[in-house]
A and B are shown apart, each in its own frame.
Chain A
Amino acid sequence: MKKKFPFHIIVFLFPACFIYSIFMIYPLIDTMRVSLYTQNLLGENMDDSSGVRTFIGLRNYYDLFFNDTWSWHFWNALKNNFYFFILHVSIQTPIGLLIAAFLSNKELKLKSTYRTLIFLPAMMSIVIVGYIFNLILSNLWGIPQTILGIFGLEDLYQPWLGLREYALITVSLISIWQFVGIPMMLFYAALLNIPEEILDAAKVDGSTGLSTFWKIKFPLILPTIGLMCVLTYVGNFNAFDLIYAIKNIYAGPEFSTDLMGTFFYRTFFGYQHQLGNPTMGATVASTTFLIILIGVLIYLFAFQKRITRYQY
């Protein structure tokens, strides 16, 4: 006979597991199921569960990847999203690392003020950030012209957000501006975590300043940098608010700022003359899920092996 499972453990676990399973895990799995169906589009009630759905296997995925109706937008959004991610990692990481390295310096004064203020944008709503920069960069207001003017460079100004070749970079920089605080904080924590003895030993061996940083500290915080990359990756493929605030769902100009999030929204809810398509929306969401999953797995295999944990 099996031993009875202690009742109080069930009581403690039940509420969290119930809500989490029903409203998070089930919808994720169900979305993948729905992506294997197609449904008559009636225009209205597109979120109505009564719409008749027919099983079509992987047809939606085939259409998404290869059928002209969808594929251009899909590959465009995917490419933009990777670009968005690469810009994040290559700009955010060095800045975050530099600031964290400075802040971890013991003798530095005003540390907590810098920390608090540099982290502050990360606490702001992305929508608000989007609107502020939309105003700041608009040619009606003239802020960039004034600032560039100080250096005699006012001719460099262009309405970056409105130009096809600059819009995505500009949007990425805005997002980087907002979230630099997160890598900074993680790297800072990792740097503080390095045991004194190791640094003392390095000092005894005559290692100083920069060489201590590159030869000793940097390798030790490499796992944190890996973690930061994967967090950024997940966040970037989940991004929506910023583009929505700055560019609405059209992700203009000419979809040059379209990311998986905005593409998903347009597919699911429709826009202009295109009807909302829940099953195709589910396909886009599931594909995004797979992309995220692949990224996380690469991280787990490439970085996780090297992680060393310090015992306190």
Chain B
Amino acid sequence: MRTLNTNLNSFIMHSVLIIYTLICMFPVYLLINNAFKSRRAIFKQPLSLPNEDTFSLAGFLKMFTRIDFSIYFYNSIVITVITLFFVLLFGAMAAWALSEYKFKGNTMLGLYLALGIMIPIKLGTVSILQLMNTLGLVNTLTGLIIIYIAQSLPLAIWILTEFMKQLSKELKEAARCDGVNEYQLFFYIVLPLLRPPMATVGVFTMVPVWNDLWWPLILAPSNGKQTVILGMQQYIGQYVTNWNAIFASLSLALIPVLIFYLIFSKQLIRSITAGAVK
């Protein structure tokens, strides 16, 4: 009776989970699947996989003749990588100071820096645009990078501070006894230990930056400075009628994130559920 019950339970659970997983994957499947099909097949058999008759790269070819997606990819990669580098470096430095040293105003400063986790930076758009104008950073990748660093720092500092509080005291004291100064201690001993939380911070920084539409739309909308998402959005805005090209450009914008996510998903999920795993 008990095993029957357990089996029934697990059957119900699996059914619900499978149905929900299918609901989650269905649009993604439709998108990528149809990017590789001919126009006729997109409309005639949208659900079936491409075969010899229906396979087509027309959308991708069409897209590449119209716009230079490689520039957008270059921009997005530059922005994401540079942002990530500075967020990790500055974030780790600040987190180190907050978690390691006792000084007046430590808690207040921590709270001040944590404010940004809750407050969306978008609300400062009016002044940010004005500031970027004054600094001559409109339509530059630098402007975008600075905003993304500012936006990503609060969460990065918070995650890294939590982690650094767990670093062993003995290690730090031993290093200090060996005459290592505070900078060396941080850069040569602490920083290399931060790899696991840095992967988490990396995902939480890179994904929103890569996917963002708002700031490219406002700060760098003109030719040659678009990110993948903005470039794709403008492209689709112009050529709404060509379904092949739409599917192709959407897939192209989506696939890098999918690959990135599938590589790091274990790490990411483990760190979200961290504490539980311990």
- A positions within 8 Å CB-CB of B: 5-6, 8-9, 11-13, 15-17, 19-20, 22-28, 30-31, 34, 47-49, 95, 98-99, 102-103, 105, 107-108, 110, 112-121, 123-129, 131-133, 135-136, 140-143, 146, 177, 180-181, 185-186, 188-189, 192-193, 209, 234, 237-238, 240-241, 244-245, 261, 264, 268, 278, 281-282, 285-286, 288-289, 292, 296, 312
Contact = CB atoms under 8 A, between A and B. Distances in A.
Given A114-B21, A120-B24, A48 B133 contact: yes
B20 A119 contact: no
Contacts of B277: 192
Given A13-B97, A102-B17, A112-B266, A282 B24 contact: no
A285 B113 contact: no
Nearest to A244: B213
Interface in B230-278: 232-233, 236, 243, 246, 250, 253-254, 257-258, 261-262, 265-266, 269, 272-278
B126 A185 contact: no
11 contacts: A9-B101, A9-B103, A25-B112, A47-B130, A102-B16, A105-B10, A108-B13, A110-B14, A193-B276, A289-B119, A292-B119
Interface of A is mostly: helix
Contact of B128 (A13, A27, A114): A27
Contacts of A6: 101, 103
A107 B10 contact: yes
A185 B271 CA distance: 11
Contacts, number: 253
A241 B207 contact: no
B46 interface: yes
B254 A125 contact: yes
B275 A312 contact: yes
B93 A24 contact: no
Interface of B is mostly: helix
Nearest to A133: B27
Given A9-B97, A12-B186, A292-B120, A131 B28 contact: no
Given A24-B116, A28-B123, A118-B24, A245 B233 contact: yes
A16 B257 contact: no
B40 interface: no
A107 B10 CA distance: 9
A13 B246 contact: no
B231 to A, nearest CB: 11
Given A22-B150, A123-B207, 9 more contacts: A6-B101, A8-B182, A23-B147, A28-B123, A47-B129, A120-B258, A126-B213, A141-B43, A282-B127
Contact of B126 (A141, A143, A281): A281
The 6 residue pairs across chains A and B that have the minimum distance between CB atoms: A27-B124, A192-B276, A125-B211, A16-B94, A27-B127, A12-B97
